[in-house]
Structure 1
């Protein structure tokens, strides 16, 4: 099993994107707690997209937009400071559109935090276009804050893993767990029926596929324990026909669910798969997406 043998990477600055929605305010408070744990400043960004709006809007309209945005930033910063009086908070009114503005603010090592955007009714389960756009193409970790704001903590960070290729970003998951003094739970879902007709043609062989996954995930857990002495690491492989369903249920018992993204080669458009989509739309706790190679580039 190959991976960098060093310990967890140092986690970078925290950037939160805000608008006037209640979900954005909840995301700002979650991001403030994360920044406080990391010993970092919190950078609050509102991307007003004024560069594009300037083409069609009058000067007075743009000025009113800027004033409203500054009031929003000030109100959000005040709410954060009231909850975390010792936290350093900075504000930025970006002229770019939201996704590009958040990317620029995060740089190469920051973590971007955004809220889930409820629309009422069933739409309250859905993710806004900004959150989806940020998560789909980012090169830094992105956290979509979902779930109830006052939800009781569980003391568990769950990492959704598929195999040894996830070891790099597991270093970030371990760092997140250590910051919270939480345990790290490696959860893998083995949909054995997906292999029938490809890897194997006989149902009698699917048991060996699940057994192989169990051994692989156990080895990953042991690897993390070796690199992070003192961190409680548990693991479980669940067989089922719906990977998204199992992982969404798992969010009910976690403070944060972390998974790695897979960049799709030779394909245009967002790179998030159906599992990521399901978690970002229906998860009951914040969901963090970590891009490939991020842990290696931050060491």
Structure 2
């Protein structure tokens, strides 16, 4: 892989478009990401016309298909105007958006969507199709949220819960290296998760905080060994809102990386409370790295 010396493989970038402005912004962000990686950008439009065929007219279906193919051509042209050397491919799918995006990603691709869509049957709307795609992702998944282009950033922020997030931190390190940015590891210790022990813990808050910092420092040292040219910063904060601290910190980051986890107590695939909140309130693009195993009932 070009641009990195260690860490996971960063593969093809797949972006879903539906004609909305957030999806167009996501396509341009995805093009920048693919260019940084030296990888192909694959643009997907899933019209879901197979589902509608049972009750929509033939003319309606054909118009939807023609509009989708035109959207793909226009998006590819816009991307090539900014990155003339970027290899761009397109895919029109008659199926639903979620399986189309995950199918295109394979085992190493990164799926990118906008923060909301048009609504209706072609939507990539966070809260419906977008959230379903994020919750069911088995590869890296990015939600491109609006950010202030004038903001001073230059760092990649990664939310770290415990030692099982090492793969997520490695992914964030790769992203930081590609951007020639620094890496910030941030652990937020939530007292409410230990509500039954709070009274007995109050006198030991600083000691426990120091233990969290020590574990985070060990992880940071591993990353420094693998990425010797990368500047790595470690922070531990105490708060009653993990998502609130991470969202606030994200206003100073180019990218927020978190480990995607399944929320406990639910049937099927769902996102944890912290992840769900960040996808709605982060101040920069959010990259979810699926965490396989060792979840221990996390609600993050």
TM-score (norm 1): 0.89
**Partner residue of 1:194?**
193
**Partner residue of 1:14?**
13
Shift of 1:271: 2.5
For structure 1, the residue ranges without an aligned partner over 5 or more in a row are: 1-5, 120-125, 295-299
Shift of 1:147: 1.8
For structure 2, the residue ranges without an aligned partner over 5 or more in a row are: 119-124, 294-300
Residue 131 (str. 1) matches residue 130 (str. 2):
yes
Taking the TM superposition and a 5 Å limit, the aligned residue runs for 1:1-299 are: 7-117=6-116, 127-148=126-147, 150-152=149-151, 154-198=153-197, 201-264=200-263, 267-293=266-292
Distance in structure 1 (CA, Å) of the matches to 2:192 and 2:266: 26
- Give secondary structure in 2 for the equivalent of 1:250: helix
Structure 1 segments, 4+ long, off by >6 Å, are none
TM-score (norm 2): 0.89
Deviates more, 1:145-154 or 1:31-40: 145-154
CA-to-aligned-CA distance 1:63-87 (integer Å, 9 cap, x gap): 1110011111111111111111111
Q: How many residues align?
A: 283
Deviates more, 1:103-112 or 1:142-151: 142-151
Contact 1:98 1:130 in 2 (8 A): yes
CA-to-aligned-CA distance 1:145-181 (integer Å, 9 cap, x gap): 0023745451100000011110122111111111111
- Give secondary structure in 2 for the equivalent of 1:201: helix
CA-to-aligned-CA distance 1:90-122 (integer Å, 9 cap, x gap): 111111111111011111110000000178xxx
Q: Structure 1 residues 151, 77: closer, same or farther in 2, change over 3 A?
A: farther
Contact 1:196 1:202 in 2 (8 A): no
Q: Structure 1 residues 193, 209: closer, same or farther in 2, change over 3 A?
A: farther
Shift of 1:293: 4.2
